[in-house]
Structure 1
Amino acid sequence: MTTLSASAAPALLTVDNLSKHFPLGKSLFGPERSVRAVDGVGFSIGRGETLSLVGESGCGKSTTGRIVARLLTASSGSIVFEGDDITSLDGAALRALRRDIQMVFQDPYSSLNPRQTVGDIIEAPFSIQGIEPPGGRRKAVLDLMARVGLNPEHVYRYPREFSGGQRQRIGIARALALNPKLIICDEPVSALDVSVQAQVINLLQDLQRDLGLSYLFIAHDLSVVRHISQRVAVMYLGRIVEIGDAETLYASPSHPYTQALMTSAPVPDPDRAAARQRVALKGELPSPMNPPSGCTFHTRCPFAADRCRSEAPVLRVTEGGTAAACHFAEVRPVIA
């Protein structure tokens, strides 16, 4: 499985051939059915690195993040964290893993207990893990609030008394409490105003610089992803179709799906927007219950050939420098 690791040093996280199929039971006259939410995903994340997962809604990004965080159990494949296979951890071993892998959720309100004060929410990881930080838990909570830009004097307020951006900062503070090494950010700014998005992204970058954090950043906003990522993986129907260095992927995408995403994203320069050539997608996203044969993208690809309908392409390094799952990545003109 090609992962295009950006560093020669051992990766903090390595995911290989990861799959998650949700069984639906048997149809009236047919076989057992399942939703193939994640189907053979592989990537690695280095220490202090941000890898972003992008793609349309329903492509499996969030499911992948939840599997890595061990909130869901993989159907197959492996997750190796700091050299240890964590795919099947449970009990005390899984609880210990929570200290190193944390998650920031998409909705900054539903992910917080409305009946708890901010202080109790941020203190919860210490209580669950039985940790007594230097100076006591309350001092640690106040320090965490200050670190993420919240007023420590508001420690006794409830989530409803904060704005959306402030609530997301509460979620980030809670994720930081146990000094994790990897944080999975599941569309952490998609529910926020544009100006607030920039503030939260800048906060995440500052924390990464100061604490050496690694991020698995899940998003659909390509402009946000470009700003925060060292590498980007593009998902389609449960599979990674292109992965590579962010600068290279944005400058010269090799897969037609990546090109379609890039050319559909708004740009602030009207002259540049008018001059660029768009790759138009046709049809609807196929059902993960019954993915197309061969290349799963062939039903919407403007360049599909007979080979695409019968033979699944492998993820391979292209002349453009990224790894793409496309039979014709080198023979098609790249549209930037």
Structure 2
Amino acid sequence: MSAPLLEVKDLTMHFPIKARGIITRTVGHVKAVDGVSFTIGAGEALGLVGESGSGKSTTGRLITRLYQPTSGQILFEGTDIAKSSARELKPIRRDIQMIFQDPYTSLNPRHTVGEIISAPLEIHNLVPKNARLRRVQELLEIVGLNPEHYNRYPHEFSGGQRQRIGIARALTMSPKLLVADEPVSALDVSIQAQIINLLKDLQKEMNIAFLFIAHDLAIVRHFCPQVAVMYLGKIVENAPREELYSNPKHAYTQSLLSAVPDMRQAVVGGRRERIRYTHDVEASAASTAANTAVASSRPSV
């Protein structure tokens, strides 16, 4: 059995909580990611699902090293990049790219589409300057846009078209892994299926691996053969999609699935019972309240 393309081991990210006074001091930490482990093989897709605040997007940013983890390992093709310097990361960034959630804010409005897509080529200096335009037009065509629109600005495109531009930018260096952070959640429902189908085609044609982050369980089921469920910074369940959707083991997964609209239930009438998962939320809230009370009772320095 070949080694996985990406192996994440006990990954953690703790953000400090600062108390301001005469001297700014750290009074605690938010455990955004708390001991996460998973693997992704070459050309495979892992779905990472959970509600807002579960740590999904932070995990994606750790994998792409937009954040430096507090601890843990990120093994990409056997090399641990968790503590790599910016210089050491430069060649790795060619192979790991990210598609951001909001196509409106992820593109520089002052730059043309051609400048946006060709920027990685310029940074890594892999394509001669006189060949960059041809590569940009090729990428625009691949994602379903008019190659002749390379000199237009982002505001001249619709939301779905902007996300296609973001995908084209991510494909510029022919990456081996794409981290897609809720790539369709900001788009109109009528456009979402088009973008998902585009990503599936790209995965098949280019053998790209995906970490697909989403809160929409229906989209993840359509795209990812393997699904991991994240809650309060931890992965509580990781299973093949058919097994997870038909027989979820963890109570939180059961709660998530019970909230998904069921068209068959709507046809026959009635309402499916909603499972509420509150135990750990209440425990976490109590712990946070206790920590806050302790912090506020300490005298200022």
Correspondence 1:166 to 2:180: no
Structure with the greater relative contact order (CA < 8 A, sep ≥ 6): 1 or 2? Answer: 2
Q: Any stretches of 5+ residues in structure 1 without a counterpart?
A: 1-7, 293-336
Please tell me the root mean square deviation across aligned C-alpha atoms, in Å.
2.4
How far residue 273 of structure 1 moved from its aligned partner, in angstroms, is 7.3
Please, which of 246, 255, 276 is the counterpart of residue 260 of structure 1? 255
Correspondence 1:239 to 2:234: yes
How far residue 289 of structure 1 moved from its aligned partner, in angstroms, is 10
Counterpart Cα distance in 2 of 1:21 and 1:258: 24
Of Structure 1 and Structure 2, the greater helix share is in 2
Q: For residue 12 of structure 1, what is the aligned residue in structure 2?
A: 5
Counterpart Cα distance in 2 of 1:245 and 1:137: 41
Correspondence 1:48 to 2:39: no
Counterpart Cα distance in 2 of 1:52 and 1:14: 15
Counterpart Cα distance in 1 of 2:19 and 2:156: 47
Query: SS state of the match for residue 161, structure 2?
Result: helix
Counterpart Cα distance in 1 of 2:286 and 2:11: 17
How far residue 131 of structure 1 moved from its aligned partner, in angstroms, is 1.4
User: Percent identical across equivalent pairs?
Assistant: 54
How far residue 291 of structure 1 moved from its aligned partner, in angstroms, is 6.3
How far residue 283 of structure 1 moved from its aligned partner, in angstroms, is 7.8
Q: Any stretches of 5+ residues in structure 2 without a counterpart?
A: 290-301
Q: For residue 178 of structure 1, what is the aligned residue in structure 2?
A: 173
- 8 Å contact from structure 1 (residues 267, 273) kept in 2: no
Counterpart Cα distance in 2 of 1:38 and 1:289: 19
Q: TM-score, normalised by structure 1?
A: 0.80
1:283/1:249 CA distance change after superposition, 3 Å? closer
Q: For residue 123 of structure 2, what is the aligned residue in structure 1?
A: 128
The one-letter amino acid of 1:112's match is L
Q: TM-score, normalised by structure 2?
A: 0.89
State the Cα deviation string for residues 195-232 of structure 1 (Å, max 9, x = none): 10000000000000000000000000011110000111
- 8 Å contact from structure 1 (residues 33, 289) kept in 2: no
State the Cα deviation string for residues 95-120 of structure 1 (Å, max 9, x = none): 11110000000000100000000011
Q: For residue 298 of structure 2, what is the aligned residue in structure 1?
A: none
State the Cα deviation string for residues 105-141 of structure 1 (Å, max 9, x = none): 0000100000000011000000111111697111000
Query: SS state of the match for residue 146, structure 1?
Result: helix
Counterpart Cα distance in 1 of 2:37 and 2:121: 33
Query: SS state of the match for residue 110, structure 2?
Result: coil
- 8 Å contact from structure 2 (residues 17, 26) kept in 1: no
Please, which of 42, 67, 74 is the counterpart of residue 62 of structure 2? 67
How far residue 247 of structure 1 moved from its aligned partner, in angstroms, is 1.3
- Spell out structure 1 runs of 4+ moving beyond 6 A: none
> 1:259-298 residue pairs with structure 2 within 5 A?
259-269=254-264, 270-271=266-267, 274=270, 276-282=272-278, 285=281, 290=287
1:242/1:291 CA distance change after superposition, 3 Å? farther
Correspondence 1:80 to 2:80: no
Give the number of equivalent residue pairs. 285
How far residue 32 of structure 1 moved from its aligned partner, in angstroms, is 2.8
The one-letter amino acid of 2:85's match is D
State the Cα deviation string for residues 23-65 of structure 1 (Å, max 9, x = none): 113588x973111100000000011111011001000000000
- 8 Å contact from structure 1 (residues 37, 288) kept in 2: no
Q: For residue 95 of structure 2, what is the aligned residue in structure 1?
A: 100
State the Cα deviation string for residues 275-311 of structure 1 (Å, max 9, x = none): 644312348946589469xxxxxxxxxxxxxxxxxxx
The one-letter amino acid of 1:18's match is L
Counterpart Cα distance in 2 of 1:174 and 1:26: 40
Counterpart Cα distance in 1 of 2:141 and 2:242: 33
The one-letter amino acid of 2:171's match is L
1:263/1:120 CA distance change after superposition, 3 Å? same
